Amino acid sequence: MIKQVGNKLLRREDKELLCIEPWGKNALRVRATQLDSFKDDEIYSALLEPAESQAEIKIDGQRAEITNGKIRCEIMSTGKLRFYNQKNELLLEEYDRNRMRGNVEEEFNSALEIDPRTFEPHRGTDNFRLTVRFEACDDEKIYGMGQYQHPYLNLKGCIVELAQRNSQASVPFAVSNKGYGMLWNNPAVGKVTFGKNLTEWIAYSTKQMDYWITAGDTPAEIVEAYADATGKVPMMPDWATGFWQCKLRYQTQYEIMEVAKEYKRRGLPISVIVVDFFHWPNQGDWKFDRRYWPDPAKMVRELKEMGIEVMVSIWPTVEQDSENYEEMRRLGYLVRSEAGKRLGQLGNACFVDMTNPDARAYVWNKIKENYYDCGIRIFWLDEAEPEFTDYEYDHYRYHLGSVLEVGNLYPKLYARMAYEGMTAEGQENVINLLRCAWAGSQRYGALVWSGDIDSSFRSLRNQLVAGLNMGLAGIPWWTTDIGGFHGGNIHCDKFKEVLVRWFQFGAFCPVFRLHGFREPVKEPIGKTGGGMMPSGADNEVWTYGEEVYEICKKYMEIREKIRPYIKTLMQEAHEKGTPVMRPLFYEFPEDEKAWEIEDQYMFGSDMLVCPILYEGMREREVYLPVGNWRNINDNKIYEGGRVVTCPAPMDAIPVFVREGTLEML
């Protein structure tokens, strides 16, 4: 039975309840369940409440349609769904392979008996393994979905895990070249296959199907509608657009102050310096080990006087020796194991349950007392997946439910913990660094970095794709460990080449941040607390010799010159959700060639960046879209709409700006 209830279209057929309703401009929310009703949006949904919109609904017997602006959904008599744009072009349709039911000529007549939406019950529970199927199109290109460690910008033909891992962030919003965007609005662990014969979304344990779909004439219109639906980043503070110095790890207050002073002595621009992990006595203490950091408030004050902000690493791990472990255990603030001891979720520690609002408040109070009250205004919220040992998702349980059912929420709620604490103190323009995200994380000031990646050109290629797809998935604040995290020896010439090319790329990323666990490793400086942890080799721009230093200095100066331009890009991200890094097709959607380019990108609308992604490369081909473009390396003007070959010596990568713009370069 199909009926209209207010602005919603409802269909009850045997066990399934289906609901389709307008949700923002040119968008629909689609839900289905085999329970008696839909579950709490606080748990399941990334969507904000939309402004009221009036849909047009038509019902004709067992068929119906609902139209909201540029998108229309048809419900066939079988329950199959089809989505069209305002031009009556088919955007997406469900995959239905059943025998003909009634006299519906346009439906498949198939003996396969495959339904578009399948709920397989986990017996004795209210949860199901959910599968939702859509028809595949040969000429479709699919982008977004977050951050994955592969080299594919176009995800057509890929299987994508819907789960959080170190260096992987599942943000399940897909942008199609057919003119639609779709959010899989479900935090369950699962996977999606963008196959040649079938698109198939799977949630391993959930109570309902929930997705949001929008139609738009351009990728920008689609991404902006998604940002309206899930939220936008705050305005990035001006200092955050500069250079961030970081390494694994500064071991003492004295060491970090000496590094900061050396940057200033050399006249190098620096905005942020980072106190990394194990500056604490024990995991879960959330305070400085005063044996090595004797006066944090003085350190913060002196660095601010130099114009440098301090970022401090926070881990959501609690070990048994922590002064807070027993109290948190009694209060139920720690992630539970389905069987056996909870300790050992990561090393000899367990995780704070960030899905519990009381646990979030408890941790923030510790952070405020021991860091915020010292003047620290930016935090590195590490281990945001969280990084469960072997990622045994079915072995852990949160306050809101099993990790299989709600696990992808963790990084979003972790970001929310700090954001709400900081804004309650009156802070504006909040930004915090996290290693993971889910849909909606951006509205809590999440700057996502791409995790503990290796130091190689292969890894660099993966990061370029990851950053572009993260932007399309609604996370415009994104960065990497320049040079990669693992495996870079500061004396190795091959690594120095990787570092240089990565540094050049990093200068044109939303956040410009040097980090890494460099070799050879430094020994621990003590036998207790924070002193027990080793450190990596030096990782400052002067560490790698004079040639590397001069190149780094050059690109630090370029970054300083374009900071006013970057501020305008951050304003766009704040107001419209616009990615800072953009595939060429975002700016040139009518250019078929732009949809094929995966190794260069737009940094805002006026700058075309062409990174060097392979060892030994000293020139590369560049596709210039229509218009006139100036190469900032030689100031020559090139006519667009063609491919040109550009030199790329070690001290330069090809970067073009639209003629008449960015004249400071």
The set of catalytic residues is 382, 385, 452
CB atoms within 10 A of CB 621: 12
Contact 450, 471 (CB under 8 A): no
Report how far residue 350's alpha carbon sits from residue 28's, in angstroms, rounded to the nearest whole number. Answer: 40
Contact 136, 196 (CB under 8 A): yes
The token pair at 182 is 């779709």
Report how far residue 643's alpha carbon sits from residue 329's, in angstroms, rounded to the nearest whole number. Answer: 62
Q: Quote the radius of gyration of the chain (alpha carbons, Å).
A: 26
Contact 68, 85 (CB under 8 A): no
Report how far residue 372's alpha carbon sits from residue 367's, in angstroms, rounded to the nearest whole number. Answer: 6
Contact 448, 477 (CB under 8 A): yes
In the sheet where 309-314 sits, what is the strand order?
478-479, 446-449, 432-434, 378-381, 309-314, 272-275, 243-245, 512-514
Residue 449 sits at the vertex; the CA angle it makes with 427 and 608, to the nearest 5 degrees, is 100
- Give the burial string for 314-344 (b: 16+ CB within 10 Å, else e): bbbbbbbebebbeebeeeebbbbbeeeebbe
Residues 6+ apart with CB under 8 A from 312: 274, 275, 279, 371, 376, 378, 379, 380
Residues 6+ apart with CB under 8 A from 413: 354, 355, 360
Contact 473, 173 (CB under 8 A): yes
Contact 473, 576 (CB under 8 A): no
> Cis omega (within 30 of 0) on the bond before 249?
yes
CB atoms within 10 A of CB 55: 22
Instruction: Residue 527: name the closest of 281, 252, 250, 249 by CA.
Output: 281
**String of DSSP letters for 61-121:** TTEEEEEETTEEEEEPTTS-EEEEETT--EEEEB--B----SS-TTS---SS-B-SEEEEE
Residue with tokens 């048994």: 320
Pairing of strands 628-631, 637-639: antiparallel
Report how far residue 463's alpha carbon sits from residue 311's, in angstroms, rounded to the nearest whole number. Answer: 23
Residues 6+ apart with CB under 8 A from 59: 2, 3, 4, 9
Contact 614, 462 (CB under 8 A): no
| Cα 181 to Cα 188, 250, 477, 551, distances in angstroms | 20, 43, 20, 40
3-class secondary-structure state, position 402: strand
Report how far residue 465's alpha carbon sits from residue 575's, in angstroms, rounded to the nearest whole number. Answer: 24
Contact 175, 183 (CB under 8 A): no
Q: Which helix (H) or strand (E) holds 160?
A: strand 159-162
The DSSP 8-state label assigned to residue 345 in this structure reads S
